[in-house]
Homo-oligomer: A and B are copies of this chain.
Amino acid sequence: MSKDEKRHVPAATVPRLTLYLRKLRELQARGVERVSSQELAAMIDLNAAQIRKDLSYFGGFGTRGVGYEVSRLIAEITRSLGLDRDWNVIIVGAGLLGTALARYRGFAEQGFRVVGVFDSSPTVIGASFGVGRVRAVEDLEAFCVQEQVDIALVTVPAAEAQSTVDRLARAGVRAVVNFAPVKVTAPSGVTVRPVDLSSELMVLTYRLVGGEGQGPRP
């Protein structure tokens, strides 16, 4: 359907691509030029067949017995994830989490530029967040259009999350990460990704209760 050479990686594969990318960059930093699916599997805690299947979307440059070329695989995944360009990010909700995200260094390293932080509270508007000042939420729509905002991180209270996403959608923002602990809906063409930090802890408790073949806690 697409005219460009975009491969259609299934949505469920994408979070794993970010894991591969992280690991491949570590390998590259250590001077490793080739890696096999078995080696990746051992490092990432996935099975090798799954990795081969996931990476098959990037063409047949994994060679049996030789492995994948690290630099080429990094380039392919980077392009596929859209990380070969910068993205304009705003944060709506300048509470503790919003402020922490505004200063999170990992974003800039990946090309995610925090270009604005918004809040509705007069006591917060105008406060510095490191690379700028908190803006009034009244200016949200105009800012999003003018600055071509790509992604919004929503860290408002639960009661304000849906109306915030509605405003963002009307302003043409097509990607939202929802940190508010409530389900929100968005019109077609706008992707909302809910983030539940508890999920990170659940993966650990699963292991603590013995899911990884380790014994129970003494």
Query: Which residues does chain B contribute within 8 Å of A107, judged by CB atoms?
Result: 197-198, 201
Q: A109 CA to B42 CA in the complex, in Å? A: 34
Min distance, Cβ A112 to any Cβ of chain B, angstroms: 5
Query: Which residues does chain B contribute within 8 Å of A18, judged by CB atoms?
Result: 196, 198-199, 202-203
A87 touches B198 (CB 8 A): no
B174 touches A110 (CB 8 A): no
Cβ-based interface call for A121 (8 A): no
Among candidates B14, B97, B110, B210, residue contacting A203 with C-beta atoms closer than 8 Å: B14
Q: Which residues of A contact B (CB under 8 A)?
A: 1-2, 4, 6, 8-12, 14-15, 17-19, 21-22, 26, 45-47, 50, 80-83, 87, 89, 95-97, 99-101, 103-107, 109-110, 112, 150-151, 174-177, 181, 183, 189, 191, 193-214, 217
Given A9-B206, A107-B198, A175-B207, 20 further pairs, Cβ under 8 A? A1-B213, A2-B210, A6-B210, A8-B211, A8-B213, A9-B211, A10-B47, A11-B211, A22-B194, A81-B205, A87-B201, A97-B104, A101-B197, A104-B197, A109-B198, A112-B201, A175-B204, A177-B201, A191-B204, A193-B200
